[in-house]
Amino acid sequence: MKKQLITPLLVSLVFVSTMSSAETAYVGEAPQKNLTQSDKESFMQRIITLQIEAIKKSFSAADVNHDGKLSKSEIEKANPDVAKKFTAFDTDQDGFLTIEEIFAGLKLLDTSK
């Protein structure tokens, strides 16, 4: 079985299992009116934190030689979709992706929508 980067679904499942009752209410089809802005901000911050942690864990799992960077081969084995973006993410063109380059690349993808 191939190693896969942690999926957003897995992140979602982990997150839901750790939510407070206020956060659980916010996730429902119709958010509860009694949630404060602070509850909503806390909820969003927890989602972001979990996504960052998932990306870091995925990076570590894909880094089979533990050198702190991912070769194109390591990325192709871990996640072919990310491998397609390798050249765009490899901003210093050294043939490897650092965690910083991955975060920067993901941020660019997010803002290009």
Are 2 and 44 members of one domain? yes
Are 81 and 51 members of one domain? no
Are 28 and 1 members of one domain? yes
pTM: 0.65
Are 2 and 51 members of one domain? yes
Domains held by the chain: number: 2
- Backbone φ, ψ for residue 65 (5° rounding): -95, 5
Are 54 and 70 members of one domain? no
Angstrom distances, CA of residue 81 to CA of 77, 84, 85, 100, 108: 10, 5, 7, 18, 16
β-strands 96-97, 70-71: how paired? antiparallel
- Round to whole Å and give the CA distance between 76 and 70: 10
Contact between 69 and 95 under an 8 Å Cβ cutoff? The reply is no
**Residue 15: is its pLDDT beyond 60?**
no
Are 30 and 43 members of one domain? yes
- Tell me the pLDDT tens digit for each residue of 61-112: 999 999 999 999 999 998 888 889 999 999 999 999 999 999 898 887 766 6
The residue range of the domain holding 83 is 65-113
- Round to whole Å and give the CA distance between 55 and 95: 20
Are 38 and 70 members of one domain? no
- Backbone φ, ψ for residue 30 (5° rounding): -120, 105
